[in-house]
Structure 1
C-alpha cells in the first residue's frame, strides 16, 4: 500500500511552466469536439451507475475516480458474500460494518444503552487499550471491563476527537469498455495521519459487576434503500447485516441480542425525518446513517433534540466536521478534505489541461467541488482553466433532470476533462454531456502520462 502522493501536487506546481503534462495551458483551448477524459467521485464510481447508462455502450470506458476504499481481505469478502451473494459493489461495506461494531462495543463498555452515556465511549473504543480485531474477541474484553482498541476493517488508527477517521485509504477506480469498474486497475492510496486520532482516553469501562441497563441495544436503519443514492446502498446494508449477525453470534450486547430495525431514508430529508421519528418511537438508541451528507445535515437538529446517536458510514462532506451535534454524530467515512486531494492528484497525473467540474448542489457536491478546485489551484493550475457548475439533484433518481444549460456552458469552455460529482443522477448528466458532443468516444482518448 503506497501513501497518498501529495508531493505530486507540489511537483506539478513547480514544473507547471515547463512540463506539459502537469497542468493546463491557459492560452490554449481544446476543440469543443475533442475527446474528453471523464472523472467521478465516490457517489458515482459504482457499477450500479454504470448499469444506468446501459443504452450508451462504452460511454464510461476509461472514466476514473476515487472513493474511500480499502483492500478488503478475502475473508471479509467471503463473509459479505454469504450475506448478499449478489453484491456488485463493495464501497462503504467496511465502514458500515465498523460503525455497527463500534456502537456495540461502546454500549457493552458502558453497560447501558443510554445514548447520553454511550456517546462518550464511541471515540475511546477505537483508541488506547488492548488492540483487538474480531468481534467476539473485542466483546469479551468489553464484558471483562477492559480498555480495548478496536482495529476495524476500515477504522485502523482510531477516530479523531470529533468522531471521524484519522486515516483512510482511497481507491482510484477505472470503468472499462462494459461500463463496469475494472477491479484489476484499482489503486489503493493512503491518506490522513495517525497523529490526528484522539489523544483523550474515553471514560473507564464500567465494572463487570455493574448491572446492565436498557437492554436490548436497538439500532435503526437510516440508509438509502431507495431514492437518488440507492445504487450505493447494497454494500452498506450488507456490511451492517454482517456486523449484527457476528455480534449476535458472539452472545450479543448486555446479555441480549442486538435488535435491528429496518428503515429507509429514501435519500430525502423530510422522509428521513419521518423514518428517524419512527425508529425513536420503536426504542432505537442508535441509528446507522444517514448515508448522504445532505440528508445528514438536514436531520442533525432532530438527532440532537431526540438525544439519539447517529453513526454514518458514508456521509463525507467536510462541513459535517464542524456541525453542531451535541457529541451525538459520528462517522466511519473520512472527510472530503482528503478526497479532494486524492481526486486532484488523479486529474494532475493524467496531464489534463482544462477541467470542468459539475456537481450536485448541497453539502456533498458543492463541498467536494470546492476541495478539488482548491487543491488544483494549490498545485499551480490557473483558476481560469477550472470551470465549476452546479445542478439540482432530485431525491429520486427516476426523476428526469435537465442540465442542458450547464452542458452548453461546458461545451463552450472546451475542457479536456470533466469531473462529475453526484449520486445516481450522474448517469443522466453523463448521458446529456455525450448527447451534446462532450463524449470520450468521439476519437481515441489521449493516454495518461
Structure 2
C-alpha cells in the first residue's frame, strides 16, 4: 500500500516505533489483544432454537456450540400432532415430559376415583409401574375405568417407571449442535440413555376404584382441574411454546377418550414468569380456582420458591422440566413429582461431551440458583471422578436478572477472568439471560471454535 511521505507519514512511522510502549497515538487505539480459541458448551436451558433467536443478529456466535438436554427421540407422529395444534413450533424441548405429566395426573385421578390431591398423589408412582402396559391416553383410561392396575408409557417415559421419589428412574439425553444460523443442526443430534430401571418403585398403590356405569355421582369432586405454571414470560419464555402445546395435546387426547371420572378435564392457564413473585400469585389463583394438580414450574429455582405454598394448600406440583438434584429429597409431603430426570444424570452426560474434545482447562459458568449451581456441581463432580483436577477447572456464577425490568447480566469481568485463566472449553449453564455471557466472552476476544 502506498504511504504519504509528508508530515502524516512521519507521524505514522512514530506510532509504529512506539507501538509496544504507548497506548494511543493521535486517534489510534491500543493494539487489540490476540483472540483465544475455546469450545463452547451449553445445557438444557440454552440448547434449543429459541435461544439462538435471543441473540438476534449475533446468532452466529453459537456456531459449533454443543451440549445436552433431557430429550427422548420423539415419534414423528407425536411431533406432527403438536404442529397441527401450533404450526409455529421450532422446538420440542420438554414436550414429551409435559404431555406425560398431564396424562399421568388424569390417570391417577381416575384410578383414585377422586380429585382430592392426596388421593391422586398416592396413585402417581403406581401409574408408571407394575401393572398392565398401555401406551396411549385412551387405552390407559379405558383400563383405569375398569379398575385395572396399569403401567403407563408415553413420549418421554419409555423405559423405567418412577422411583419412590416421584421421578423417572431412567432418562434419555440428546447431544445437540448449533449451526452457523444459531439453530440446532438436527443431522448431528445423538441420543443416549441413562439411569437404571431397577430403581423404579416397587410399592403397591392403593387399590384402584372401578368407575360405576361410566358415570360418577360427583362425590369424587370432578371435574378434575389441572393448572398450568409454565413460563409464558421471563427468561424461560422461549421454552413455553412446546410445553404449552404438549399440555393442550394431552388435554385434547384425554377428553377425546371420555375425560377423567366421567367429565372432561379442565385446564386452567397460568404463568410462572420465571419469577418467584409471579409464580406465587399464579399458585394463589389456582388454589382459589379449585385446581388439584399444578403442572410446573419450569425452572427448578421457581419450584423451590413456590413449593411450600403448594404443599400448604395440599395441592400436587408436577414439573415436566425441573432437574435440580436436590428436589429428589425436598420436603414435599409426597406432593411433588417430575417427569424430567435429575441433574445427577445430566452431569455425567455433559462431562462426557466435554471430555471427548480433550480440553486442558475448563471454565463452567452458571446462573446463581439451585438449577445453575446444582448442575455446575454435578458436572464438576463427574470431572473429578475421571481425574480432572481442580487446577484444570474454574467455576464462575452470575446473578440472573430479577425480572424483565432489571438490567441485563454484566459478565465483562467474568469474561476477562476466563480469558486470563486460559480456558479452552467454556460450559454455560443458564436460560435466555446467558446470551449476555456469550456476548461478553466474544467482546473479550474469546473466539468460539467447533
Same fold (TM over 0.5): yes
Deviation at 1:206, TM superposition (A): 1.2
Q: Secondary structure, in 3 states, of the residue corresponding to 1:324? A: coil
Deviations 1:289-329 (A, max 9, x none): 00100000001111111000010000100010110000000
Selected match of 1:376 from 357, 375, 383:
383
Name the structure 1 match of 2:444. 436
Deviation at 1:428, TM superposition (A): 1.2
Name the structure 2 match of 1:169. 172
Q: Secondary structure, in 3 states, of the residue corresponding to 1:55? A: helix
Question: Structure 1 stretch 248-257 or stretch 392-401: which is displaced more?
Answer: 392-401
Cα-Cα RMSD: 1.3
Q: Secondary structure, in 3 states, of the residue corresponding to 1:36? A: strand
| Contact 1:109–1:145 (Cα < 8 Å) also in 2 | yes
| Contact 2:108–2:123 (Cα < 8 Å) also in 1 | yes
Deviation at 1:439, TM superposition (A): 2.1
CA–CA separation in structure 1 for the residues paired with 2:402 and 2:184: 25
Deviation at 1:143, TM superposition (A): 0.4
Q: Relative to 1, partners in 2 of residues 1:205 and 1:179: Cα closer, same or farther, differing over 3 Å?
A: same
Name the structure 2 match of 1:233. 240
Aligned residues: 412
Deviation at 1:32, TM superposition (A): 7.3
Deviations 1:35-94 (A, max 9, x none): 110000000011111111122252111000000011111110111111111111111000
Residue 151 of structure 2 corresponds to residue 160 of structure 1: no
CA–CA separation in structure 1 for the residues paired with 2:209 and 2:123: 11
Q: Secondary structure, in 3 states, of the residue corresponding to 1:345? A: helix
Q: Secondary structure, in 3 states, of the residue corresponding to 1:65? A: strand
Name the structure 2 match of 1:419. 427
| Contact 1:391–1:403 (Cα < 8 Å) also in 2 | yes
Name the structure 1 match of 2:286. 279
Selected match of 2:395 from 383, 388, 396:
388
Name the structure 2 match of 1:339. 346
Name the structure 1 match of 2:416. 408
Deviations 1:105-136 (A, max 9, x none): 00000111001211100000000110000110
Selected match of 2:137 from 135, 138, 141:
135
What are structure 1's unaligned runs of at least 5 residues?
1-30
Q: TM-score, normalised by structure 2?
A: 0.90
CA–CA separation in structure 2 for the residues paired with 1:148 and 1:205: 10
Name the structure 1 match of 2:115. 113
Residue 42 of structure 2 corresponds to residue 40 of structure 1: yes
Deviation at 1:395, TM superposition (A): 4.2
CA–CA separation in structure 1 for the residues paired with 2:251 and 2:117: 19
Residue 343 of structure 2 corresponds to residue 329 of structure 1: no
| Contact 1:144–1:208 (Cα < 8 Å) also in 2 | yes
| Contact 2:144–2:210 (Cα < 8 Å) also in 1 | no
Selected match of 1:90 from 89, 92, 100:
92
CA–CA separation in structure 2 for the residues paired with 1:439 and 1:279: 47
The answer to which structure, 1 or 2, has the higher relative contact order (CA under 8 A, 6+ apart) is: 1
Q: Give the structure with higher Rg (CA).
A: 2
The residue correspondences of 1:354-369 to structure 2 (distance < 5 A) are: 354-369=361-376
Name the structure 2 match of 1:14. none
Q: TM-score, normalised by structure 1?
A: 0.90
CA–CA separation in structure 2 for the residues paired with 1:375 and 1:349: 14
What are structure 2's unaligned runs of at least 5 residues?
1-32
Q: Relative to 1, partners in 2 of residues 1:348 and 1:313: Cα closer, same or farther, differing over 3 Å?
A: same
Q: Relative to 1, partners in 2 of residues 1:205 and 1:72: Cα closer, same or farther, differing over 3 Å?
A: same
CA–CA separation in structure 2 for the residues paired with 1:349 and 1:201: 42
Deviation at 1:34, TM superposition (A): 2.3
| Contact 2:365–2:396 (Cα < 8 Å) also in 1 | yes
